[in-house]
């Protein structure tokens, strides 16, 4: 089966009735957990971005507490999983301020984690890449916000 382009999908969706659109969305939500999560965000959480960010931070806190700290192999796997989830929530939101907030929080948790991330090259590299991603997201924000975020980034360095 050949996948339709976004333009073709948009045209076809415009041709459908609201009832058919609801049925299509519900059917889409049954196939993948990510589809259901995205619909949940768009319908219930997009209106209150601050609450969404708080809930993601709480989830990150919980995931950091559950890390198996026996050796760095398990720590790296857990950190990668946490970062993958954070990036997923950033994709849902598509707001640069939310991206900067969540990545800053992830880096803060990683830096303050015990045992230290500085003893692992992989974790240190992951941390450095996220700092670069934060700087990139912050560069697209308003100048006043950029100054605030720059101070937070400097505190992490």
Whole-model pTM? 0.88
Say what the pLDDT of residue 119 is.
87
d(CA 69, CA 55): 24
CB 82 within 8 A of CB 60: yes
d(CA 67, CA 73): 11
Say what the pLDDT of residue 157 is.
81
Handedness of CA 117, 122, 125, 126 (dihedral sign): negative
d(CA 78, CA 86): 12
Q: What is the DSSP letter of 46?
A: T
- Coil vs helix vs strand at 142: coil
pLDDT along the chain (157 residues), means of 10: 87 91 89 90 91 95 93 93 96 93 95 88 93 92 88 87
Q: What is the DSSP letter of 12?
A: H
Neighbours of 15 (CB within 10 A): 8
């Amino acid at each position: 089966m050949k996948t339709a382009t976004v333009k073709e999908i948009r045209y076809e969706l415009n041709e459908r009735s609201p009832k058919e659109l609801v049925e299509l969305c519900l059917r889409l939500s049954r196939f993948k957990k990510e589809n259901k999560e995205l619909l949940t965000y768009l319908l219930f959480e997009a209106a209150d971005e601050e609450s969404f960010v708080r809930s993601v931070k709480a989830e990150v806190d919980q995931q950091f507490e559950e890390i198996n700290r026996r050796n760095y192999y398990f720590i790296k796997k857990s950190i990668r999983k946490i970062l993958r989830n954070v990036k997923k929530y950033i994709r849902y939101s598509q707001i640069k301020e939310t991206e900067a907030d969540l990545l800053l929080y992830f880096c803060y948790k990683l830096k303050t984690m015990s045992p230290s991330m500085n003893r692992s090259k992989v974790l240190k590299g992951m941390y450095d890449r996220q700092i670069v991603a934060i700087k990139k997201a912050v560069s697209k924000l308003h100048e006043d916000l950029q100054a605030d975020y720059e101070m937070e980034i400097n505190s992490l360095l």
